């Protein structure tokens, strides 16, 4: 599974697997599943793609997955920078995970009720991320006013 992607502009814009050859940052392979969810949402809504997203999410939403080194810091008080993190967890991985979950909800939500259980799990996870792991405007302004040493 490719772990990074590059947009090629010649002769038309194309998205190509990069395998970390020229990407700005490199992510662990487990995180590339989040990229796939976002890309699948952008390009197709086929049953095979939905099954792929369900498999990725069944891993990401399983109990104990949140203890992996790739996810979730207590607050987003760092810049999007591969050398910066909070408790060793990178903020861009959290943003990627959040976006993958949002895209998955749109893909899995069906009129016939199929995928409802997973969508409910995703909605709970999104609520937890927004409530406990993201900065609100007040926190952002407070952090912005810190002196460099703080």
- Given pLDDT bands bounded at 50, 70 and 90, which one contains residue 77? very low
- Given pLDDT bands bounded at 50, 70 and 90, which one contains residue 20? low
Q: pLDDT by residue (tens digit) across 30-76?
A: 566 666 666 666 666 566 767 777 787 787 777 766 555 445 444 44
Per DSSP, the three-state class of 11 is: coil
pLDDT at 100: 81
Residue 149 lies in a domain: no
Q: Which of 31-35, 52-56, 80-84, 85-89 has the highest mean pLDDT?
A: 52-56
Residue 150 lies in a domain: no
Give the HSE-up count for residue 46: Cα atoms under 13 Å, Cβ half-sphere: 7
Closest CA to 47 of 134, 118, 108: 108
Domain count, the chain: 1
Q: Which residues constitute the domain of residue 95?
A: 5-144
Residue 99 lies in a domain: yes
pTM exceeding 0.85:
no
Residue 115 lies in a domain: yes
Q: Which residue has the higher pLDDT, 149 or 59?
A: 59
Q: pLDDT by residue (tens digit) across 118-146?
A: 888 889 888 877 777 665 667 666 766 76
Residue 131 lies in a domain: yes
The string of DSSP letters for 65-116 reads GGGSTTS--S---S-S-TT--BTTB-HHHHHHHHHHHHHHHHHH--TT-TTH
Residue 92 lies in a domain: yes
Q: Using alpha carbons, list the distances in angstroms from residue 79 to 1, 50, 54, 84, 150.
A: 27, 33, 31, 7, 15
The answer to whether 119 and 107 are in contact (CB under 8 A) is no
């Amino acid at each position: 599974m490719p772990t990074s992607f590059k947009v090629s502009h010649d002769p038309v814009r194309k998205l190509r697997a990069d395998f970390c050859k020229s990407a700005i940052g490199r992510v662990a392979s487990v995180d590339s599943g989040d990229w796939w969810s976002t890309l699948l949402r952008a390009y197709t809504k086929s049953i095979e793609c939905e099954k792929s997203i369900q498999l990725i999410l069944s891993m990401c939403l399983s109990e104990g997955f949140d203890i992996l080194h790739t996810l979730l810091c207590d607050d987003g008080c760092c810049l999007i920078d591969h050398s910066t993190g909070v408790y060793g967890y990178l903020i861009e991985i959290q943003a990627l995970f959040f976006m993958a979950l949002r895209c998955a909800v749109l893909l899995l939500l069906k009129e016939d009720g199929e995928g409802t259980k997973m969508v409910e799990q995703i909605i709970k996870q999104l609520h937890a991320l927004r409530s406990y792991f993201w900065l609100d405007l007040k926190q952002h302004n407070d952090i912005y006013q810190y002196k460099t040493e703080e």
